[in-house]
Amino acid sequence: MSDTLKYEEKKLKIVGTRPLRPDGVDKVTGRARYGADYNLAGQLIGKVLRSPYAHARIKAIDVSAALALPGVKAVVTRDDFPEMPNEYASAGELTVNYRAVTRNMMAREKVLYDGHPVAALAAVSESVARAALALIKVDYEVLPHVIDVVEAMRPDAPLLHEDQYTEGVKPKPARPSNIAKRLEYGHGDLAAGFAKADVIIEREFNTKPVHQGYIEPQACLASYSADGQAELWTCTQGHFVFRAQCAKVLQMDVSKIRVTPTEIGGGFGGKNNVYNEPLAIALSRKSNRPVKMVMTREEVFRATGPTPGANVKVKIGCTLDGRITAAQAEVNFQAGAFPGSPVNQASMCAFTRYDIANVRVVGHDVTVNRPKVAAYRAPGAPIVVFGVESVIDELSKKLGIDPIEFRLKNAAKEGTQTYYGPKLGPIGYVQTLEAARAHPHYSAPLGPNQGRGVATGFWFNIGNETTCSLNLQPDGTLTLNLGTIDVAGGSRASLSMMVAEELGIELERVRPIIGDTSTLGFNFVTAGSRSTFASGMAGVIASRDMIEKLRARVAKIREVPLAAVAWKNGRAEPADARVVKFEPMSLAEIAAMAGRTGGPIAGHAEINAQGAGPGFGAHIVDVEVDRQTGAVKILRYTVVQDVGKAIHPAYVEGQMQGGAAQGIGWALNEEYVYGADGVLQNPGFLDYRVPVASDLPMIDTVIVEVPNPNHPYGVRGCGEVPIISPMAAIANAIDNAVGVRLYQQPFSPPRVLEALSGPAKR
């Protein structure tokens, strides 16, 4: 079975329409069960004791008083978890350094951020657990801390890891550093490129960490049985990855852990990694009772991974007629307490929208005393694109060239050489730009203190391991067992739609479920804009596999050659009735006979989907700036994006609108605020200000479809691209509205006022 099916243009009956999603009724009635909605008889409540310091050595932990409190059934500390070597191991295709994973889950020698877990316990109720936490005594030796990325890169900065030497530097440095890794991408001759430029603009940008902001805090329920098997219910973007991480950290066989994914209340990349899960299993093992652990909102902010804060320097040169001759960037990302920021991917997508002969991007992954970062929708890209698309805008203004025209002049196309290695395949960047330019928004009139901004984004999209099985039930309906977590409600719908399309049957005859880890082979996380692409591919392969088996079965039942049986109109029909004629068979008729003619029929796919197609987006935003308060109001917003093929357009629109809204929040209000003591000051939704309904206008969407040749329906994926452009688009709009450039995110009222009152900051 092939891992890639090529695109075929054909007339579609179901794909591209807007049916109701199969899991929808449960979600509007409160029946759907999320992570915190599962309970087991006799369960204990688990809670975590967290460091109050940004950086400290743990000298001793005394849990005796907590253990003695009536109602406390188990306590775990670093002593309950094995040491992990400095080893990159595959958590099923996602390599992680387990030495970091176990330390982030439970501190060992040091606490490295405010909120870092130090101990966990399980008790008979929430109130007993809280009281017991207060009885745990930890002896800390407080150390100096560093949270700013530029400060952390200095040789005299407080050091988080004494054994961390900058990777990617030859020869190996003599002294350890907070810079975990240096990387460099590029091609051409940068100096020569800048020498050819008539105009060069060089700017520096600073951004703060922002959180994915999913409304559902992490929640899990673990039940360890005396025979060494564990069951785990958790809200996760990847139950197979969670299983692998738990197994490794607890040193259990993978197949002894059964992870059932609950419905998930948002993830956006933040639920790709375990936090409390191994602790819950360990506490259940120790107490011999189920243990439920639900994070508070404060814990989510203090201890789960935000996106990095960053310092980004961008320098771009171009000729008077708007051709970019050279582009350079330095991308310094906070990784948080352990290495592993998305600086690599960010560096790769900084300039990829453009065909530039001379490029150099240098990236640094820097550890600082903040929580370990996690992925957030196109990880790293929005930050670096804020810088690049702002400078592109300044250049186009300086030269008097329309911003979309400027981008078209330099646009990447099929065959453009990227600066990180391969050439781009068929892409839709030019089509996306042209659709944006043609949109009425682009030429609508503007009033005083109002301005329009444009910015574009690119993301690679991925495929990865996917398994599914399609089973024919005795009444001719089908169950589609998927391993791809359905985060946003689109994938169960769109995957069933593709299966129904393939089989030529009504959508209602296909019932999708998400299987737990024991029912399917490995599935990668739902992230990377991969679900409609990779699971769609798997669904199509499983459908075609089933069709082959159905044909073979009908050939036997009807006693005709296999070649005489075709699958048409949702049933088995003669391929050519003039040659061999037989009575057609529907799915229900085949199913009714299946047991007596060889057994049940199923289709399978176990693939590693390759051939993901990159996506491009262009955003247009109108803002109005209040010169007295500095408040920026979003008047109008349009998202144009190439998605390859919109299987269910309503959910594609939803991704575009939702991603844009997150980007708007990132631009205008969201930031982590730390005190001088390195403690997070705004771990709640009051002071960590995400967009509310009254902050936003309607968000127009334009779906561009340049099919991905490596997917049977042309799907590229769409989830991540829409978060990339808003920051730059809004910065560009503010400049057009009131003539000031913002180089620091967020563009909150105090910052806008400051920019309005003085010379534009650099």
Partner 1 sequence: MARIALSSSLAPYADGVRELELEVANVRQLFEVLGERYPGLQAQLEGEVAVAIDNEIYQDALLQPIRSDSEVVLISKIAGG
Partner 2 sequence: MSRNHVNATVNGDSVEFLCETGQTLLEALRDEVGLTGTKEGCGTGDCGACSVMVDGRLVCSCLMLAVEAEGKSIETIEGMAKGEALHPLQRKFLEHAALQCGICTPGILIAARSLLERNPDPSEAEVRYWLAGNLCRCTGYHKIVDAVLDAARELRGA
* Contacting positions for partner 2 (CB under 8 A): 18, 20-21, 24-25, 27-34, 36-37, 39, 125-127, 212-217, 263-268, 294, 296-297, 487-490, 650-651, 653-654, 657-658, 660-662, 684-686, 690-694, 696, 698-699
Lay out the site mask for partner 1 across 345-374 (x = CB under 8 A, - = otherwise). x-xx-------------------------x
Q: State the minimum distance, in angstroms, from the CB of residue 321 to partner 1.
A: 29
Q: Tell me if 394 contacts partner 1 by CB under 8 A.
A: no
Instruction: Find which of partner 1, partner 2, none residue 192 binds, CB within 5 to 8 Å per kind.
Output: none
Structure tokens at 104: 């982030």
Instruction: Please state the closest distance from residue 4 (CB atom) to partner 1, in A.
Output: 9
**Interface region with partner 1, contact rule CB under 8 A, candidates 309-317, 343-351, 566-574, 575-583:** 343-351
Calculate the alpha carbon distances from 195 to 324, 368, 545, 726, 729 in Å.
12, 37, 58, 32, 29
Nearer to partner 2, 226 or 693 (CB): 693
> Alpha-carbon distance 547 to 544, whole Å?
5
Q: Is the Cβ of residue 20 or residue 191 nearer to partner 2 in the bound state?
A: 20
CB 626 within 8 A of CB 647: no
Which range in 185-193, 202-210, 639-647, 741-749 contacts partner 1 by CB under 8 A? 185-193
The option from partner 1, partner 2, none interacting with 387 (CB < 5 to 8 A, set by class) reads none
Across 406-433, b (16+ Cβ under 10 Å) vs e yields: bbbbbbbeeebbbbbeeebebbbbbbbb
> Of these partners, partner 1, partner 2, none, which one is at the site of residue 93 (CB under 5 to 8 Å by kind)?
partner 1
Partner that binds at residue 654, options partner 1, partner 2, none, CB closer than 5 to 8 Å by kind: partner 2
- Residue 186 lies near partner 1 (rule: CB under 8 A): yes
Span between the terminal Cα atoms of the chain, in Å: 56
187 is a contact residue toward partner 1 (CB under 8 A): yes
The smaller minimum CB distance to partner 1, of residues 305 and 453, is found at 305
CB of 628 to partner 2, least distance (A): 22
In the stretch 697-736, what mask flags binding to partner 1 with x, by CB under 8 A? -------------x---------x----------------
CA-angle at 385, arms to 159 and 155, nearest 5°: 20
Q: Determine if 170 is a binding residue for partner 1 (CB under 8 A).
A: yes
SS3 state of residue 664 = helix
Q: Which of 5, 1, 15, 147 has its CA nearest to residue 705?
A: 15
Q: Does residue 617 touch partner 1 according to CB under 8 A?
A: no
Largest CA-CA distance found in the chain, in angstroms, rounded: 88
Measured from the CB atom, the residue of 724 and 753 that comes closer to partner 2 is 724
Q: Does 674 bind partner 1 (CB under 8 A)?
A: no
CA distance 278 to 124: 19
Question: Which does residue 265 bind out of partner 2, partner 1, none, counting CB within 5 to 8 angstroms by kind?
Answer: partner 2
Of residues 16, 19, 168, 749, which one binds partner 1 by CB under 8 A?
168
Q: Verify binding: residue 344, partner 1, rule CB under 8 A.
A: yes
Q: Tell me the window of 5-13, 162-170, 251-259, 316-324 that interacts with partner 1 (CB under 8 A).
A: 162-170
Residue whose CB is less far from partner 2, 12 or 690: 690
DSSP 534: I
- Judged by CB, which is closer to partner 2: 548, or 687? 687
Pairing of strands 310-318, 291-294: unpaired
- If binding is defined by CB under 8 A, does position 510 make contact with partner 1? no
Helix (H) or strand (E) holding 310: strand 310-318
Footprint on residues 195-214 left by partner 1 (CB under 8 A): 212
DSSP state of 679: -
Distance CA 96, CA 100 (A): 8
Query: Per CB under 8 A, does 26 bind partner 1?
Result: no
For residue 269, state whether it binds partner 1 (rule: CB under 8 A).
yes
Residue 88 or 685: which CB sits closer to partner 1?
A: 88
- What order of strands is seen across the sheet that includes strand 565-568? 565-568, 571-574, 585-586
Helix, strand, coil share (%) of the chain residues, nearest 5: 30, 25, 45
DSSP 3-state of 698: coil
Task: State the Cα torsion 739-745-748-751 to the nearest 10°.
Answer: -60
**Are residues 668 and 632 in contact, defined by beta-carbon separation less than 8 angstroms?**
yes
Among residues 463, 489, 515, 746, which is the contact residue for partner 1, using CB under 8 A?
463
Choose the one of partner 1, partner 2, none that binds residue 217, judging by a C-beta under 5 to 8 angstroms depending on kind. Answer: partner 2
Q: Is 272 a residue that touches partner 1 (CB under 8 A)? A: yes
Give the span between the Cα atoms of 198 and 400, in whole angstroms.
14
64 binds partner 1 (CB under 8 A): no
Among 134, 169, 195, 562, binds partner 1 (CB under 8 A): 169
Candidates 262, 325, 461, 467: give the one binding partner 1 (CB under 8 A). 461
Give the CB-side neighbour count of residue 543, counting CA atoms within 13 A: 22
> Which residue, 322 or 617, has its beta carbon nearer to partner 2?
617
Q: Give the three-class secondary structure for 603.
A: strand
Q: Which is nearer to partner 2, 311 or 535 (CB)?
A: 535
The answer to whether 216 touches 305, Cβ cutoff 8 Å, is: no
CA dihedral 512, 514, 516, 520 (to 10 degrees): 60
Using rule CB under 8 A, residue 695 touches partner 1? no
215 binds partner 1 (CB under 8 A): no
Cα 588 from chain centroid (whole Å):
40
Integer Cα distance of 402 and 736 in angstroms:
13
Q: At what angle do helices 536-558 and 587-594 cross, to 10 degrees?
A: 70
Site residues for partner 1 per CB under 8 A: 3, 88-90, 93-95, 168-170, 183-187, 212, 268-270, 272, 342, 344-345, 347-348, 374-379, 420-425, 459-465, 527-530, 608, 610-612, 710, 720
